[in-house]
Structures are given as structure tokens and as C-alpha cells.
Amino acid sequence: MTECEGNKICRDYIACNAKCLDQWDEDNTTQKFQVQNCANICQFSLYDKTIDKYMRCVTEHNCISLPLIPNTCRTSIVKPVKQLSVKDLDGYWWVVRGYHKVYDCYPCQHTHFQAINDNSWEYAPSYVVPLANGSHAVISQKFQMPVAPAGQKISFKYYDAGLLHYETWWLLDKAEDGSYVTAYYCGNTMNWNYEGAIVMARNTSIPTNDYGKISMSFKTAVGLDLSEFCQDDVMNCENLKTN
């Protein structure tokens, strides 16, 4: 705490998040999307290694608590249409549709999956995020996912801005020609729970006729309505493409 108090960026980060939590009662969205988006803007705009150390310390020692975002995960009803594994994700994908109004809807969202060894894969997402000053930045991250049996959930954990996240993915369906994959996930950090779903495509667009199959895929596998998903802006993003 002493190190954070002596670091202006760290102090500003704490103040920024406090303002986000002030919006809690006014945010009537199911997953507190407005508050989550506000907290993400704080994180993206004010990054410093001291913040990671501070947040990791105060959370691991239960020095702070956050108001509860209830768990809406559909674990008990998930029924994948096809028996897929992380190996079906090999290569590069664009996220063209997303369910979580914050995490899944950033512009130019793309990701790359590749094997690290026989037991784990690297998941490397990248996307454009808003900053507090009105500008934007490209964020790139790397996580490790275990190799689970085909058709089974994929559970992993990671630190982000000093907070330990637990996340579980289900791969739901894949086009016969491999042009798209649908996935559903749930996660939590402290007592903030979240759920999301994405459509990943090899290209920046999917033929209109395929969306009927994709809609049925989400409805059958996890009871989600594709009409509630955002349409991600992935046009004019090729210059941001990374491996």
C-alpha cells in the first residue's frame, strides 16, 4: 500500500475504480455491464506494474471486497452440438458476434490459438479498447488453456490487473468447412461473475445463410438467442492482425 500511495498512476487507478463503483445502484443491467466497462477503462488507461502488485496483494489477503455480481452461468444445461476440443481452434480467428456486452464486443477482436505442448495451448486475444481520455488502444494478451477431452469443458485461470480470474469454456459447434466455431464461457474474479459467448470466424464475415445454423447452435446448446449478441466491428482491422 505504501508503494501504491507513492505512485500517482496507482492512486489514480484506485480513484477511477471508486468512481465506477459509485455507479453500482444506477446500473440495472444483469451483469453490471456499465460498471464492468468503467472498470475496464480504468485498467486500460492506467497501467503500471505497481497496480498489479497492489491488487494481487490486497485481494489475496482479503483486504478489499466488491459488491456481488450474481452467477448466471448455464453450466447445468450446456449441451455442445459437436464434440470439439481446443485442437479445433488451431490458427487465427476473428470474433464476429459476442454475447457479453463488454468483453465480447470490442472492435477488431481477433485471437490466435497454437499448441505449446501436448497438454496446453496458447490463447492470444487482441482487440481495440476505449481509454479515459477519449482515445483508443490495441490490447494484446496471452493465456494458457489445457487440452481437455473432446466435448468436455476447458477450465483455466489467469491474472489480469492483479486479479485472479477463473474461466471455463465450452466449444459448442463448428462449421463443416471449418469457417466458424461457436463457444460459450463463464468466469469469475473475486465475487464478480460473468458469462459470454462468441462466434469466431476465419474471415471478417460469415455468409448470411450460415447465421441460421449458428442461431440454432446457440439455442440448442445453451439456450442463448443470437439476436441478443452484438455484431463486432472487424472491418478495416487487418493492419492490427498479429500472431
Tell me the pLDDT tens digit for each residue of 26-56. 999 999 999 999 999 999 999 889 999 999 9
In a domain? residue 25: yes
Same domain, 51 and 106: no
Residue 152 lies in a domain: yes
- Give the pairing of strands 154-160 and 136-140: unpaired
**Residue 242 predicted with pLDDT over 70:** no
Claim to verify: residue 40 and residue 104 sit in the same structural domain: no
Residue 243 has pLDDT above 50, yes or no: no
CATH code, domain carrying 175: 2.40.128.20
**Which residues constitute the domain of residue 47?**
2-60
Same domain, 7 and 84: no
Q: Looking at residue 172, what DSSP letter applies?
A: E
Last residue of a domain, one of 15, 34, 60: 60
Residue 91 pairs in a beta bridge with 113
- Local confidence band at 240 (pLDDT 50, 70, 90 cut-offs): low
Does a structural domain hold residue 121?
A: yes
User: 223 vs 215, 220, 228, 240, CA distance in Å?
Assistant: 10, 6, 12, 33
Residues 194, 117: one domain? yes
Q: Are residues 186 and 82 in the same domain?
A: yes
Asked if residue 159 belongs to a domain, the reply is: yes
Is residue 187 in a domain? yes
Tens digits of residue pLDDT in 60-118: 999 988 899 999 999 999 999 999 999 999 999 999 999 999 999 999 999 999 999 99
165 shares its domain with 226 = yes
Among candidate residues 29, 60, 91, the one where a domain is terminated = 60
Report the 10 Å Cβ neighbour count for 148: 17
CA 43 to chain centroid, in Å, comes to 14
Residue 69 located in a structural domain = no
Summarize the confidence of residues 10-29 as an average pLDDT: 96
- Same-domain pairing of 107 and 49: no
Under DSSP, the state recorded for 178 is: S
The residue whose grid cell reads 469466431 is 200
Number of folded domains that form the chain? 2
Which amino acid, one-letter code, is at 40? N
User: Is residue 107 included in any domain, yes or no?
Assistant: yes
Q: Three-state DSSP class for 132?
A: coil
Question: For 138, phi and psi rounded to 5 degrees?
Answer: -95, 125
pLDDT by residue (tens digit) across 183-236?
999 999 999 999 999 999 999 999 999 999 999 999 999 999 999 999 999 988
Q: What per-residue confidence (pLDDT) applies to 239?
A: 60
* Same-domain pairing of 39 and 12: yes
Note the pLDDT of residue 237: 86
Question: Does residue 67 fall inside a structural domain?
Answer: no
Output the pLDDT for position 235.
87
Q: Are residues 21 and 112 in the same domain?
A: no
Could you give the CA distance from residue 21 to residue 231 in angstroms, rounded to a whole number? 28
Helices (H) and strands (E) in the chain, counts: 5, 10
Q: Tell how far CA 196 is from the center of its chain.
A: 7
Give the global pTM. Answer: 0.93
- Pick 239 or 135 by higher pLDDT: 135
Same domain for 55 and 81: no
For range 137-141, the mean pLDDT: 94
Which cell numbers hold the place of 106?
470490442
- Please tell me whether residues 80 and 11 are part of one structural domain: no
Same domain flag for 28 and 132: no
CA-to-CA distance for 243 and 238, rounded, in angstroms?
12
